[in-house]
Amino acid sequence: MQDKEKNILIGGAWPYANNSLHVGHIAGLISGDIIARFNRQIGNNVLYVSGTDCHGTPITVRAKKENKTPKEIAESYHEEFKKCFEDMQFSYDLYTKTEDEYHEEEVKKLFKKMYDNGYIYEKKDLQPYCEKCKKFVADREVKLICPSCGNETKGDMCDCGYEPKDEDLLNATCIECGNKVVAKENMNLYLALGKLQKDIEQYVENKKSNWRISSQNESEKYLKQGLPEKAVTRNLEWGIDIPLNGFEDKKMYVWIEAVLGYVTACKKICEERGLNWEDYWKNDKDNYIYMVHGKDNITFHTIILPALLLSIDENYRLPDGMVATQYLNINEEKISKSKGNGITIRYMLDNYNSDMIRYYLTSNGPERKDSNFSLEEFVAICNAEIVNKYGNLINRTLKFKGLDKVPDGKMNEEIKQKIQNAYNEVENAIKKLEFRKATSIIKDLVEDGNKFYEEKQPWKEQKENIEEFNNTIYTCCNLVANLSNLYEPFMPTSSRKVREFLNLPKATWDYIEVEKNMNLDGIEPLFERIK
Ligand SMILES: [Zn+2]
Ligand SMILES: [Zn+2]
pLDDT given for residue 360 in this prediction: 98
User: What does residue 277 show for φ and ψ, rounded to 5 degrees?
Assistant: -65, -25
Residue 113's identity, in one-letter code, is K
Long-range contacts (CB closer than 8 Å, 24 or more residues apart) made by 132-135: 132/174, 132/177, 132/179, 133/174, 133/176, 133/177, 133/179, 135/235
- Mean pLDDT, consecutive 10-residue stretches, the chain (531 aa), reads 93 95 96 98 98 93 92 97 98 98 98 98 92 90 92 90 88 93 94 96 97 95 94 93 95 96 98 98 96 95 98 98 94 74 92 98 94 95 98 97 95 98 98 97 98 98 97 98 98 98 97 97 94 89
Give the whole-angstrom CA distance, residue 374 versus residue 379. Answer: 9
User: What does residue 124 show for φ and ψ, rounded to 5 degrees?
Assistant: -90, 130
Which CATH homologous superfamily contains domain 7-117+198-209+253-345? HUPs (3.40.50.620)
**Cα-to-centroid distance, 158 and ligand 2 (Å):** 5
User: What does residue 282 show for φ and ψ, rounded to 5 degrees?
Assistant: -105, 165
Considering the domain 120-191 in this protein, what is its CATH number?
A: 2.170.220.10
**Cα-to-centroid distance, 140 and ligand 2 (Å):** 14
pLDDT given for residue 161 in this prediction: 87
Residue 513's identity, in one-letter code, is E
Give the whole-angstrom CA distance, residue 293 versus residue 417. Answer: 36
Give the whole-angstrom CA distance, residue 288 versus residue 284. Answer: 10
Q: DSSP label at 303?
A: I
Q: pTM of the full predicted structure? A: 0.93
Task: Enumerate the domain spans of the chain.
Answer: 7-117+198-209+253-345, 120-191, 378-531
Ligand nearest to the CA of 137: 1
pLDDT given for residue 389 in this prediction: 98
| 8 A C-beta contact, residue 439 and residue 425 | no
Name residues with Cβ closer than 5 Å to ligand 1, which is an ion: 130, 132-133, 174, 176-177, 179
Give the whole-angstrom CA distance, residue 22 versus residue 377. Answer: 17
Question: Which residues have a Cβ under 8 Å from the Cβ of 63 and sit 6 or more positions away?
Answer: 69, 70, 72, 73
User: Which overall architecture, per CATH, does domain 378-531 show?
Assistant: Orthogonal Bundle (1.10)
Q: Where are the beta strands (DSSP E) in 304-434?
A: 321-325, 328-330, 371-373
Q: Where are the beta strands (DSSP E) in 246-351?
A: 250-252, 287-294, 321-325, 328-330
Enumerate the β-bridge partners of residue 46.
8
**Cα-to-centroid distance, 154 and ligand 2 (Å):** 10
Name residues with Cβ closer than 5 Å to ligand 2, which is an ion: 146, 148-149, 158, 160, 162
Of 443, 322, 431, 496, nearest in space to 35 by CA? 431
